[in-house]
Each structure stands twice: as C-alpha cells, then as structure tokens.
Amino acid sequence: MIAIDAMGGDHGPAVTVCGAGLVLDERPDLFFQLHGDEARINAELARLPKLKARSVVVHTDQCVAMDEKPAQAIRRRNTSLANAINAVKSGEARAVISAGNTGALMALSKMILKMMTDDLERPAIGCSWPNKKGFGTVLDVGANVTSDARQLIEFALMGAAFHRAVRGVEKPSIGLLNVGSEDVKGHEEVREAHKLLRENALGLNYHGFVEGTDLCAGTVDVVVTDGFTGNVALKTAEGTARFIKDLLKEAFKSSPLAMLGALVAGPALKAMAQRIDPAAGNGGPLLGLKGIVIKSHGGADVRAFSNAIKVGLSLAASGYERDIIESLKQFSQSIDEAEQAAIAAAAAGTSVEDKPAASQLEAAGNKVN
C-alpha cells in the first residue's frame, strides 16, 4: 500500500491521482491510499477504473497550502498530508508520496514518524541528479541550511544507502562538494568531514572533494553538501536545463531551414531533452526517518509524479532503512571508541594529534555533545 497526499502540489488530484494510475499500469499488483477531498479524487478515479478498483479514498476537507508555515500545518492534525504520513506510522502504508509544502512535510514527518536514531536531528533530502553516467545522488538539497562535520558524514552514510537501494551500486563512490579539490579549501566543517571520511574508518568508498562541475560529469555516485548549497545548486541546474530547452526551441523556429534541421534531428533532441528533464529524476526521499517519505516537485506533471512514486517503491522493496541504521550505529561506535582513546591518551600523556583518526572523530563527537 502506498499513501498519496492527493491534494499536495500545484495541481492536486489532476496530477497525483493520475500519476498513481500511470504507475499502476506498470505495477498492477499495487494498492493506493488517496488522501484528500473525496469529491475531487473520485472525479479523477471515474476516468481510471483500474486505479479505482485498487484504491481506498480517505476523505478530509483539510489540506496544507503550499505557502503555509510548518507551525500552522503541525497544529492541524486532519490534513491530507498528516493523514497520509500517519498511514505509514500505523503500518497501513509502506511509503507516503507528496508534492506539497516541503517545510510542512518535513516538520510533520519528523513529528509523526520520528528519526531513526536519537543522534539524528533532522532528515536530509536526497535527489537524483542526471549526469553522463546516468543518475547520481545529491544530498542535502534543502532540509538543513547549515551542517556540521558529523551531519555531513551522516549524509554520506544515508546517501550511500539510498543510492545502493535505488541504483543498485553496491559500494557507491562519495564526494564532498567544495570550492576546490585541495585539502585547505572550504570552511572548517567541510574540511573536518573530509578528514574523517579520508581516514575511511566507516568503510565508505570516499573519493574526496568534488566541485560543481563534477555534478553532471558523474565523477562520483553520491555528492554530499549542506542544504543551502545543495538547494541553490539544484534550482540552478533545473533553471539551466529549462533555459537550454527554450533556447533550442527558439533556434529551431528561427527559419525554415532551422525547422527542417529540427525535423531531422528530432529523435536525438527528444532523447537529450529527456536526459536533462528535471521530471526524470523527480522524487526526493527524506532520509533518516522511521518510514519512507518521498517529496515530489510541487509543479510536477503526471509523469514526474509517477517517477516520485517509483522512488518510494524502490526504497520499499529494499533494505535501505536497516542499511542506514547499521551504518549510523557503526559511526556512533567509532565516535565512542575515539573518545575513549583520546581519554586514555590524555591520561598517558600522549598527544591526541598522534592519533589522527581518534582526534578527528573526537572533534566530530564534541560538536554533538
């Protein structure tokens, strides 16, 4: 069972319900819970008899507006968004998909589902990023404006688990987004995270620093950054993709000869447009929660929303939650061991700097304690 916030996004049931129908065409074994205004949902289901037979409509006349403040959304417990998330908590649904208000989705998901471990403060939003090799994973793209060294490492662990589950890469390569590849570049937190990851105590396939140009080059499978930088990069890339598509349309309409060229190059242009289309990678998981929550673009069309549902299905069919919990447990143990080693070294009169990995893990632990 997949729970859908049918009222979320710019288009509501016209996209969310039809998106579920598109997925059902490929996966006729699925069941859906459609949360929202029963009349509007049923109006769409009337045109989709197969989906209607495989769906349950959970009515509420309340929904979260796209510009509503998260604090307001939390106080209203009977919205389509809250009800869909509660379906995951109760075990009725395996995942929830919403194109609605990101802040409200984040706040309600954290409040209702809770975090996987006590050490995790907030979820991280991951996204699929088109590159020369197919798709990479970038996180965080909006959940955490600033992130310390420990959080960046947690993002690396969660991003690796997500990429493994969705893309099938057993040991994905990981890079830290920075302003340069040299060790001295970047602010203190990203340099500290780089040191910790480079020690490789967690068994990750760490590549090192990567730059903005590496995002589309596919230099690494998973790119880790704070939410502010990640969100700016994401919106810039999406805007650039649309800009290029618009320029190509203008160019091929500029003259009869250009239009003829467009006709000849049509299949190749269509393939290129699909590669850079943000809809192709739509569906960002909120990683770190006790449950699968997928954020779709608010302006997603039917195909894009169906892709977000497919991301949820991929995670539901995988063991990524257990993967993340085990990785975070190992990380916490590494910090504890490093702290004990530092205490022992201090008691013995040994400089902590003589133990690089312990020193760095202790520093990360101090940022949390």
pLDDT digits (tens, 9 = 90+) for 311-326: 999 999 888 888 888 8
Contact (Cβ atoms closer than 8 angstroms) between residue 204 and residue 197: yes
| 311 vs 183: CA distance, rounded Å | 35
Contact (Cβ atoms closer than 8 angstroms) between residue 144 and residue 126: no
CA nearest neighbour of 46 among 23, 24, 14, 3: 14
| 328 vs 154: CA distance, rounded Å | 7
Residue 16 has pLDDT above 60, yes or no: yes
Res 350: pLDDT: 61
- pLDDT band with cut points at 50, 70 and 90 for residue 362: very low
For 221-241, what is the mean pLDDT? 91
CA distances from 270 to 111, 114, 275, 282 (A): 43, 43, 9, 18
Pick the more confident residue, 12 or 354.
12
Amino acid at 136: G
- Percent above pLDDT 90 for the chain: 55
- Percent above pLDDT 70 for the chain: 92
Residues 6+ apart with CB under 8 A from 363: 149, 192
Q: To the nearest whole number, what is the mean pLDDT of the chain? A: 87
Six-digit token pair at 105?
A: 């989705």
Residue 205 has pLDDT above 70, yes or no: yes
Q: CA 53, 281, 92, 87 torsion: positive or negative?
A: negative
For 99-113, what is the mean pLDDT? 93
Least confident range from 7-11, 251-255, 343-347: namely: 343-347
* Residues linked to residue 177 through DSSP beta bridges, in sequence order: 210
Residue 358 has pLDDT above 70, yes or no: no
Residue 368 has pLDDT above 50, yes or no: no
What are the b/e assignments for 323-352, b being 16+ CB within 10 Å? bbeebbeebbebbeebbebbeebeeeeeeb
Residue 363 has pLDDT above 50, yes or no: no
* Residues linked to residue 137 through DSSP beta bridges, in sequence order: 128, 222
Identify the DSSP state of 185: -
CA distances from 242 to 40, 126, 137, 216, 276 (A): 31, 21, 20, 15, 9
pLDDT in tens, 329-355: 888 777 767 667 767 777 777 654 554
pTM for this predicted structure: 0.84
Residues 6+ apart with CB under 8 A from 254: none
Contact (Cβ atoms closer than 8 angstroms) between residue 1 and residue 32: yes
| 237 vs 213: CA distance, rounded Å | 11
Distance of CA 274 to the CA centre of its chain: 20
Residues 6+ apart with CB under 8 A from 333: none
Res 351: pLDDT: 52
Res 78: pLDDT: 92
